[in-house]
Chain A
């Protein structure tokens, strides 16, 4: 049962254009969402996050949008650069049973972004 879904395995974008990566989730208990970038044989690098009480968070070229009613979030990269080419993972964090803290992240399957020069 995939609770976090990234339905596009790959995306190709021209340099300078906007990249939009999408993520859907099914668990309404998720209250924190993160985007990571990953190169082969390396660990994921944190990019940006958003709390469920917000609908937008921006950090430089990266903006994450959250639509709670649709259980959907997206990452916008603008302008896209060739160095952005990597696999992007969406992840969600849920409140632990009993309301306690936890750092358990549920990851999507990733989207391979290729930015063409």
Chain B
């Protein structure tokens, strides 16, 4: 069974540009969550999608957005990139998205903003 797949693995962008990251969850998983990992802030929750609807959102500015498609694949978009957006972006999928379910992570996309 394939795991969570994130593309691309590495990305370099310039300040002011926008970027789209992709996540394909484990087959059968309907919940997809996104996290940002930085050395200073650790792993922080961005948002969660379930059945194409955003179900929960973290404390990030509106420049960070996402969506989920009918096949559960998800994308996140960051507009007007800032240097501080440089981070490892992680996607996690869960079976039902209910309580007490484990989240399985992809390998992440390393975004560098120059």
Residues of A within 8 A of B (CB): 31-32, 34, 36, 41-46, 49, 51, 89, 91, 93, 95-96, 100-110
Contact = CB atoms under 8 A, between A and B. Distances in A.
B90 A43 contact: yes
Given A101-B99, A103-B97, A109-B42, A41 B56 contact: no
Contacts of B105: 36, 43-46
Interface string B86-104: 0010111010111111111
A44 to B, nearest CB: 5
Contacts, number: 82
B108 A41 contact: yes
Contact of A102 (B48, B88, B110): B48
Contacts of A42: 107-108
B31 interface: yes
Contacts of B103: 34, 46, 103, 105
Interface of B: 4, 6, 31, 33, 35, 42-45, 48, 50, 55-56, 58, 88, 90-92, 94, 96-108, 110
Interface residue SS majority, chain B: strand
A102 B108 contact: no
A51 B48 contact: no
B16 to A, nearest CB: 26
Contacts of A91: 43
A110 B42 CA distance: 8
A106 B45 CA distance: 7
Nearest to A52: B100
A109 to B, nearest CB: 5
B98 A101 contact: yes
